[in-house]
C-alpha cells in the first residue's frame, strides 16, 4: 500500500518555556520564548483520503490569541480536498485545536479513542484543568456525531486501513491517539499531541497539559520505540521544526510532505 502523508500548518503563536512545559522551574534553566505551530495531517492511499484532526475554528483560535494562517477547510480545498466530501476523519484528541471544524465534515466517519470520547462526555470534563483546552459546543458536537451513528471508537489499537494503524497512548488527554502510516520506505508516526515539540522527547520533558503523567512518559517511550528503525519519521504535533525537517509540498507554502527528512 502506497500512502502519502502531508502536514498542513494552519496557525501559529509565540509561547514561552514556562507556559509550554510542565513545572519548567524544576529544570533550573532560564525561560525563553519560542514559536508554536498548529497542524493537521492528510493521508492519501488506496484511492482514499483520511484527514487527521481538523484544526481550530478560526474564530476560536483568534479569541485565544492564536494567529490564523489559513482556515483549515480552505487549506484542504487548496489541496484539492472538499471537507464536505471527506469520509474519514481521525481525531487524535478533543482539544479545541484538533476538533474545531468538525461540523464542516458532515459526511465523515469520525474515529476517536473510546477513552477520549467517554472522558469528554463524562463528569470530569468540565473541571478547569481539563476544560481550559476545550470548547463546550465542540464537545457537544462530538456527541451529536455519535447520535448520528458516525462515531467510531478505538479501544487500544485499530488497523484503520491498509498501512494506517492507530494506537491509544493517553498522557496528554485520557485517550490521545497516535497514527502510524506505512510509506514506500518506512513509516510516518503522526504523534499529534503525544509530542508537541521534539524537545519533549529529546530532553524527556512533558508538556504542561497532562491528564496522566505516567502515561505521558510511557507515550514518549512508545514513540522512541516506534521510530527507532531507519525510515521511521516522527512528526510532532506543534513543532516549528516540522517545516525544517520535511520538504515543502510544491505549490503549497503551508504544507510539507512526510516522505523523507531533508
With 0-12 CB in 10 A as exposed, 13-18 as middle and 19+ as buried, what is 133? middle
Q: What does the DSSP 8-state code read for residue 107?
A: T
x/- mask, Zn ion, residues 26-65, rule CB under 5 A, reads ----------------------------------------
The binding track of 137-176 with respect to Zn ion, each residue x by CB under 5 A or -, is ----------------------------------------
Task: For residue 113, count CB atoms less than 10 angstroms from its CB and return exposed for 0-12, middle for 13-18, buried for 19 or more.
Answer: buried
Among 90-98, 120-128, 157-165, 183-191, the segment contacting Zn ion (CB under 5 A): 90-98
Q: Which is nearer to Zn ion, 20 or 182 (CB)?
A: 20
Give whichever of 97 and 165 is closer to Zn ion, judged by the CB atom. Answer: 97
Q: Residue 94 burial (CB < 10 Å; 0-12/13-18/19+)?
A: buried
The answer for residues whose C-beta is within 8 angstroms of residue 191's C-beta and 6 or more apart is 178, 223, 234, 235, 236, 237
Among 97, 116, 165, 200, binds Zn ion (CB under 5 A): 97
Pick between residue 45 and residue 171 the one whose CB is nearest to Zn ion.
171
Q: Which stretch binds Zn ion (CB under 5 A): 119-127, 135-143, 186-194, 209-217?
A: 186-194
Smaller CB separation from Zn ion, 57 or 182: 57
Least distance (Å) between residue 123 CB and Zn ion: 24
C-beta of 183 vs 192, nearer to Zn ion: 192
Residue 193 makes contact with Zn ion by CB under 5 A: yes
- Which lies closer to Zn ion via its Cβ, residue 71 or residue 193? 193
Q: How far apart are CA 39 and CA 82, in angstroms?
A: 18
SS3 66: coil
Stretch that binds Zn ion, among 45-53, 66-74, 192-200, 218-226 (CB under 5 A): 192-200
52 Cβ neighbours under 8 A, 6+ residues apart: 40, 41, 42, 43, 89, 90, 92, 179, 190, 192
- Helix, coil or strand: residue 51: strand
Q: CA-based angle 42:47:51, to the nearest 5?
A: 20
Please compute, for residue 191, the number of CA atoms within 13 A of its CA located in the half-sphere on the CB side. Answer: 29
d(CA 108, CA 224): 32
State the nearest-atom distance from the C-beta of 79 to Zn ion, in Å: 21
Label residue 46 left, alpha or beta by phi (over 0 means left) and psi (-120 to 50 means alpha): left
| Piece of the chain touching Zn ion by CB under 5 A; list 2-10, 91-99, 123-131, 182-190 | 91-99
Q: Which stretch binds Zn ion (CB under 5 A): 12-20, 108-116, 190-198, 243-251?
A: 190-198
Of the pair 138, 193, the CB lying nearest Zn ion is at 193
Residues in contact with Zn ion by the rule CB under 5 A:
97, 193
Amino acid at each position: 500500500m502506497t500512502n502519502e502523508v502531508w502536514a498542513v500548518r494552519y496557525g501559529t503563536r509565540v509561547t514561552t518555556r514556562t507556559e509550554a512545559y510542565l513545572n519548567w522551574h524544576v529544570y533550573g534553566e532560564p525561560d525563553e520564548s519560542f514559536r508554536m505551530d498548529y497542524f493537521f495531517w492528510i493521508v492519501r492511499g488506496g484511492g482514499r483520503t483520511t484527514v487527521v484532526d481538523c484544526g481550530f475554528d478560526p474564530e476560536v483560535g483568534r479569541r485565544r490569541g492564536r494567529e490564523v494562517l489559513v482556515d483549515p477547510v480552505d487549506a484542504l480545498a487548496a489541496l484539492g480536498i472538499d471537507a464536505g466530501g471527506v469520509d474519514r476523519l481521525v481525531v487524535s484528541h478533543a482539544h479545541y485545536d484538533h476538533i474545531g471544524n468538525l461540523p464542516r465534515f458532515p459526511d465523515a466517519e469520525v474515529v476517536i479513542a473510546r477513552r477520549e470520547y467517554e472522558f469528554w462526555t463524562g463528569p470530569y470534563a468540565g473541571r478547569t484543568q481539563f476544560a481550559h483546552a476545550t470548547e463546550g459546543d465542540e464537545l457537544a458536537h462530538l456527541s451529536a456525531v455519535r447520535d448520528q451513528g458516525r462515531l467510531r471508537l478505538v479501544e487500544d489499537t485499530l488497523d484503520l486501513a491498509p498501512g494506517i494503524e492507530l494506537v491509544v497512548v493517553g498522557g496528554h488527554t485520557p485517550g490521545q491517539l497516535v497514527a502510524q502510516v506505512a510509506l514506500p520506505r518506512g513509516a510516518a508516526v503522526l504523534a499529534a499531541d503525544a509530542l508537541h515539540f521534539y524537545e519533549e522527547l529529546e530532553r524527556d520533558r512533558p508538556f504542561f497539559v497532562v491528564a496522566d503523567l505516567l502515561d505521558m512518559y510511557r507515550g514518549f517511550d512508545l514513540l522512541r520505540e516506534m521510530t527507532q528503525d531507519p525510515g521511521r519519521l516522527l512528526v510532532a504535533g506543534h513543532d516549528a521544526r516540522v517545516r525544517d525537517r520535511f520538504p515543502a509540498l510544491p505549490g503549497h507554502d503551508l504544507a510539507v510532505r512526510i516522505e523523507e527528512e531533508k
